[in-house]
Each structure stands twice: as structure tokens, then as C-alpha cells.
Amino acid sequence: DQQVKQNSPSLSVQEGRISILNCDYTNSMFDYFLWYKKYPAEGPTFLISISSIKDKNEDGRFTVFLNKSAKHLSLHIVPSQPGDSAVYFCAASVRSGAGSYQLTFGKGTKLSVIP
């Protein structure tokens, strides 16, 4: 049973336009959400995160939106650049109380930004 779902395996966007990557989760205990970016043959790189007490977090061209009632988050990249082409993983964890804070990942969305 997948607790974090990325329903779009791939996405193509023109350079300069907005990329929107979506993620849904089912576990209401999750209170911290992250996006990782992964290039081939490399480990995932942390991109941006959001706590469940917020509904938006922005860092440069990257903005993450969280809709707790819908158990949905999205990553917006504006403007998209060819170097953004990678696989993007949505991840979630439970950070309240003691625990391992392990990450639960979605299957990833492959973003292709076309020059």
C-alpha cells in the first residue's frame, strides 16, 4: 500500500514555462514533506521541504504548496530550465515525537525541460 503517490511518471515542459509536479499521501501522521531531485547515477539531492504547519514554502525558483485537507502537495518550478531535467521524488516523514524520521518516498516523476 503506497503511502506517497506520484501519479505522473513523466512530465515535459518548455524552457521558461512553469513545471508543476504533484504528490498525494494517505498517512495523516505525516507532518513533514520534502522534494528530492535525482540525476542518473547520483544519489537524491534535497531540494525543498515544508512542515505541516505551513501551506507554502518558497526558495528561489522552487515553491512547494501543501493542502493538508486534500493530502496533496505540489512543487512549482518557475521558470523551468534545461538543467532542471531530472527525476523528482516526493517524500514524507513523521517528525513529531521520537522516531527514526525515516522518509517514505513516491516513485518519482521524470521532468524533461525542452530548450
CA distance 17 to 77: 8
Shortest Å, Cβ 59 to another protein: 13
Decide if 66 contacts 51 (C-beta within 8 A). Answer: no
Shortest Å, Cβ 78 to another protein: 23
Q: Which of residues 42-61 bind another protein (CB under 8 A)?
A: 42-46, 49
Q: Which three cell numbers stand for residue 58?
A: 518558497
Q: Is 109 in the site for another protein (CB under 8 A)?
A: no
Determine which residue in the list 15, 22, 27, 32 makes contact with another protein, applying CB under 8 A: 32
What is the sign of the dihedral through the CA atoms of 102, 104, 105 and 107? positive
Candidate ranges 12-20, 61-69, 75-83, 92-100; the one touching another protein (CB under 8 A) = 92-100
Residue 10 or residue 14: which is nearer to another protein going by CB?
10
Q: In what order do the strands lie in the sheet with 56-59?
A: 4-5, 19-25, 72-77, 62-67, 56-59
CA distance 16 to 6: 23
Residues engaged in binding another protein (CB under 8 A): 4, 6, 32, 34, 36, 41-46, 49, 89, 91, 93, 95-108
